[in-house]
Structure 1
Amino acid sequence: MSDPETDTPLSEEARHAAKMAKKKAARDKIMAGKSGEKGLVIVHSGSGKGKSSSGFGMILRCIAHQMPCAVVQFIKGAWDTGERRLLTQNFGDLCQFHAMGEGFTWETQDKARDITAAQAGWAKAKELIEDPEIRFVLLDEIIIALRYGYLDEAEVLATLAEKPPLTHVCLTGRGASEALIAAADLATEMTLVKHPFRSGIKAQAGVEF
């Protein structure tokens, strides 16, 4: 790359600056066409780790912005997790936390009980989503409840379609349906590449709970 006026070669630093200036101009042009706010439907699915972790990261961002938010846990409610301790002990004024599940279905071994817990969780979730004062609702592991047929997916999709316009809703769990992904504004699939559990290492505090 040369200086267009003198036709002399540019230094590495100057070439880099020119390249970044082009990128910035292109980015600014893209951003100029974006405006307004919208409450997003966010889906985190896939077999890899990080679905719930990402959802809780957004909950902390909401708290930092003083945005009222809420968590409904559909599966892990019986677990003593770090995120539950942190939110209930320190940010209860901004973040409601509802632990509705009793564990994975192979732990309870009682399908009727699992369905009852899931439906109670959804009743609370629907109430929270429909409250315009709450700006972000995390439905942790709800996709598992949907996949097992414990909840009516059509009802969930209808609620998402009719939510307050500035409310964000994040749904996590493996096996999101095509209909749920189609309804989402943002959908991410976590891909499993490597996991310590396969090497005989159990879940670690601070990393997985």
Structure 2
Amino acid sequence: MTDRQQRHQRAMQKLKAHVDDKVAAADQQRGLLLVFTGNGKGKTTAAWGTVTRALGYGYRVGVVQFIKGLWECGERERLAADANLEVSIMATGFTWETQNRESDTAACQAVWQDAARLLADPEVYLVVLDEITYMLKFGYLDIDTVRQAIADRPPEQSVIVTGRNAHRELIEMADTVSEMQDVKHAFDAGIQARRGIDY
């Protein structure tokens, strides 16, 4: 065995011991709250990836789409036929297009009823609240209402919250927070969003 191979083997043995210790220490079983936030691309895409994973195991999943509901969504189109998936859409589109606080608030409150029902259902394994951060930022939803519904959910249910500028209270209560960092984006260079890649 070469010196390089011996050094590699020692390093991997040390890494394995570290990973094994962490695995052994992880002794809790419960649903999680995940927050995908930040200015970078990929928050909703990551959420849909997790939806696909859960559906792959036959779990029931609910997705509530705020803001982008009127847009085409390749993931939603592909998974729509799955009997274990329920999708609710705010259906007003981007708030900067509607420019009507009253109607946006009403639409948000209506679709929130679907979210609240899903969050209370012990048969639903995963609930995605896509772009809900904007609803909190604009005051269409109250943080106390959202926080309480998430806190009171069934213990085995996981929740994913997506959107920029996640409320600090959601970040504090989350088990996992991933921040997508915007290093470079094609749109800033004048390149249009691409079907099948961006939506």
Q: Please give the TM-score of this superposition, normalised by the length of structure 1.
A: 0.91
- Given candidates 175, 184, 190, the residue that maps to 1:194 is 184
1:108 counterpart residue number: 98
The superposition leaves residues 60-115 of structure 1 with CA deviations (integer Å, 9 ceiling, x where unpaired) of 010111111111101111112111211213x1x11111112311111112211111
The superposition leaves residues 37-69 of structure 1 with CA deviations (integer Å, 9 ceiling, x where unpaired) of 111111111111111011001000101111111
User: Does residue 53 in structure 1 map to residue 45 in structure 2?
Assistant: yes
What SS does the aligned partner of 2:160 have?
A: strand
| Alpha-carbon distance in 2 for matches of 1:138, 1:42 | 9
The superposition leaves residues 163-182 of structure 1 with CA deviations (integer Å, 9 ceiling, x where unpaired) of 10010010111111211111
User: Does residue 184 in structure 1 map to residue 174 in structure 2?
Assistant: yes
The amino acid across from 1:121 in the alignment is: V
- Given candidates 83, 88, 111, the residue that maps to 2:80 is 88
The amino acid across from 1:187 in the alignment is: V
What SS does the aligned partner of 1:69 have?
A: strand
User: Does residue 33 in structure 1 map to residue 25 in structure 2?
Assistant: yes
Q: How does 1:125-136 map to 2 (within 5 A)?
A: 125-136=115-126
User: Does residue 153 in structure 1 map to residue 143 in structure 2?
Assistant: yes
| Alpha-carbon distance in 2 for matches of 1:175, 1:189 | 10
The superposition leaves residues 4-53 of structure 1 with CA deviations (integer Å, 9 ceiling, x where unpaired) of xxxxx953222212210111012111211111311111111111111101
| Alpha-carbon distance in 1 for matches of 2:10, 2:163 | 44
Q: How does 1:112-123 map to 2 (within 5 A)?
A: 112-123=102-113
| Alpha-carbon distance in 2 for matches of 1:81, 1:160 | 25
The superposition leaves residues 142-176 of structure 1 with CA deviations (integer Å, 9 ceiling, x where unpaired) of 11111110001111001111110010010111111
Structure 2: gaps spanning 5 or more residues: none
| Alpha-carbon distance in 1 for matches of 2:24, 2:48 | 30
| Alpha-carbon distance in 1 for matches of 2:174, 2:21 | 26
2:195 counterpart residue number: 205
Structure with higher Rg: it is 1
- Given candidates 123, 144, 148, the residue that maps to 2:134 is 144
Q: Please give the TM-score of this superposition, normalised by the length of structure 2.
A: 0.96
What SS does the aligned partner of 1:77 have?
A: coil
What SS does the aligned partner of 1:43 have?
A: strand
- Comparing 118-127 with 25-34, greater Cα deviation is found at 25-34
1:5 counterpart residue number: none
| Alpha-carbon distance in 1 for matches of 2:154, 2:122 | 6
What SS does the aligned partner of 1:78 have?
A: coil
What SS does the aligned partner of 2:16 have?
A: helix
**Alignment root-mean-square deviation, CA:** 1.3
**C-alpha contact 1:101 1:121 (8 A) present in aligned 2:** no
1:18 counterpart residue number: 10
Q: Percent identity?
A: 41
